[in-house]
Structure 1
Amino acid sequence: MNKLNIFGRITAMAVLVFTATSCNTTNDSDPTLDLMPINSVTVDGYTVSLESDNELETGSNDLYWKIEQDGNMITPQSITINPMMDMVEMNMMHSTPFEQPQTAEEDDRYFKNMAVFIMPSGMGNWTVNFEITLQNDEVISGEMPIEVNSSWRLTSVQHEQSGDVYFITWHSPNKPVVGENDLTFLVHTRASMMNFPAVSDIEMDVYPYMDMGGGSGHSTDYATPTATGNGAYEGSINYSMSGTWTTSVELIVENDTLPEVVFEYSVQAE
């Protein structure tokens, strides 16, 4: 074999090795989330950032927490939070239903939690108080001002006898489309102004309806949501056409049917 052929084979092998190495580098790249910034504050040299999938609104929201030092993301031991609404004009403060942050499955550099905001900004001022324990056991704390928009995804109803208030959140589908959709509601009550526990021991009736005008309209195929734990009620709904729909919801609490509430929303074509 002449020297030219040997050089050609060595060159080809080098190209293959470089290509394989390049592919492995791409596959091992850091995961990224498509999130939008909500707000950030700096405490003792650490930047604490709050991000989400969308702008915050009444109803359920996924909150993502990021900690940085000198521009580099760091992973703390734990994060605890407490959202607070300060209704200044009424001289009143209250919290809202929420979970504590845990390591995000999508990207373990983030901490993630769900919060159900029960009223929009404008009725008062929302802040999220946080306490973060770093890997060196240092603790930093502060508060994050946030803006919460109004949405159609949250309503409430009161039990006439007991006076208990139930907050009903349309959790999914986030964007209803023609065809089969998973249907999930979240139900919370108010034990105190600082405690809003999930409710998982009631029944729920729903009825989807499209008003066609002129006194005519129709429903569609659906499965009534049932309790699955932690305040969630899961069913399904199969929209037959796009347009404006309503879904009425009734809660049955200890054999008492509470007043009907109605969600109105738009269903898009696939």
Structure 2
Amino acid sequence: MKFLRWAGTLTALALLIITLSSCDTTSSSDPEPELDLVTIGSVASDDYTISLESNSPLQTGANQLYWKVERDGDLVIPESITITPMMDMGDMMHSTPFQQPEVATEDDRYFSNMAVFIMASGMMGSWSIEFEITLPNQEVLIGEMPVEVDSSWRLTSVRDNNDKIYFITWLHPRQPVTGNNTLRFMVHTRDSMMSFPPVENAELEIYPYMDMGGGSGHSTEFTSPEAQEAGYYEGSINYSMSGTWTTSATLKVGDVTLPEVMFEYSVQAQ
């Protein structure tokens, strides 16, 4: 009988331990957050390696950049990172619309920022990103990251009668699909070769169209984007079928209506 009582007590203790263990949500076996990124480049500065990654190879238009600092293979979380993208065209240099890096909300091992590259790398010039990184020990790393930027359909530009240029970036969806899509644009202008402020409170009218050939075609259900904060414009578009579509965009700034520009792209079936 004593044996049975002891056996029952041990069984109860074992069940209690298992229950408590199953409630521990801080188990070391929990996976660390990970981003599906591709390496854009890396450079060495003193004993440190600075890596730049992104969701895909860089293209004209909006790109989300992720910065990581390591020393001897160990991760180092900076206090701050300051950057300036620069295009070297030989006889002149210019920057592009961009944000400064902050700790990435998706994965705090990275600093992240958006950059809108307004031209591709190639015969016209080459891109690099100057950086200044302050480490926890107050050491400062200064250097530049050469990057390659391919052309894409997600950026276009237009000029007014005074030759002032406006850059219209197709931000979302990066890959349109049939059905309803939230539609987001960014609009910037150029005040100088180093200053590209967002254009707020403008009007952006769009018109999606599918050319069926033989002089026939059709549009689809959509709402033109409305101005949001910091130069963002948001609407929606509901693609009725897959294939090649165009979307015209007409920007009105104050009392000035700019010439129509066009995005051409492929819509995938889902």
Same fold (TM over 0.5): yes
Could you tell me which amino acid in structure 1 is paired with residue 257 of structure 2?
T
List per-residue Cα deviations over 1:18-66 (Å, max 9, x = no partner). 9638874256442111111110111011111000000100000000000
Whole-angstrom distance in 1 between the partners of 2:148 and 2:52: 12
Matched, 1:55 2:42: no
List per-residue Cα deviations over 1:207-242 (Å, max 9, x = no partner). 000011111111111111011021111100011111
User: For this pair of structures, how many residues does the alignment match?
Assistant: 267
Could you tell me which amino acid in structure 1 is paired with residue 229 of structure 2?
G
Could you tell me which amino acid in structure 2 is paired with residue 239 of structure 1?
Y
Could you tell me which amino acid in structure 1 is paired with residue 102 of structure 2?
Q
Could you tell me which amino acid in structure 1 is paired with residue 75 of structure 2?
M
Matching residue of 2:145? 144
Whole-angstrom distance in 1 between the partners of 2:26 and 2:138: 36
Q: TM-score, normalised by structure 1?
A: 0.93
List per-residue Cα deviations over 1:159-181 (Å, max 9, x = no partner). 02x21000111001111011110
Task: Call closer, same or farther: CA 1:21–1:254 in 2, change over 3 Å.
Answer: closer
Cα offset, 1:135, TM superposition: 1.0
Matching of residues 128-143 of structure 1 within 5 Å: 128-143=129-144
SS of alignment partner, residue 85 of structure 2: strand
Matched, 1:45 2:31: no
Q: Which runs of 5+ in 2 are unaligned?
A: none
SS of alignment partner, residue 27 of structure 2: helix
List per-residue Cα deviations over 1:51-84 (Å, max 9, x = no partner). 0000100000000000111211111110000000
Whole-angstrom distance in 1 between the partners of 2:74 and 2:23: 26
SS of alignment partner, residue 230 of structure 1: helix
RMSD: 2.0
Matched, 1:252 2:255: no
Matched, 1:215 2:215: yes
Matching of residues 137-176 of structure 1 within 5 Å: 137-160=138-161, 162-176=162-176
Could you tell me which amino acid in structure 2 is paired with residue 194 of structure 1?
M
Matching residue of 1:266? 266
Whole-angstrom distance in 1 between the partners of 2:252 and 2:137: 50
Matched, 1:71 2:73: yes
Matching residue of 2:11? 9
Cα offset, 1:5, TM superposition: 3.5
Per mean C-alpha deviation after superposition, the further-off stretch among 78-87 and 3-12 is 3-12
SS of alignment partner, residue 25 of structure 1: coil
SS of alignment partner, residue 9 of structure 1: helix
Matching residue of 1:104? 104
Task: Call closer, same or farther: CA 1:9–1:190 in 2, change over 3 Å.
Answer: same
Could you tell me which amino acid in structure 2 is paired with residue 55 of structure 1?
P
Q: Which runs of 5+ in 1 are unaligned?
A: none
SS of alignment partner, residue 228 of structure 2: strand
Equivalent residue in structure 2 for 1:86, among 88, 102, 126: 88
SS of alignment partner, residue 59 of structure 2: coil
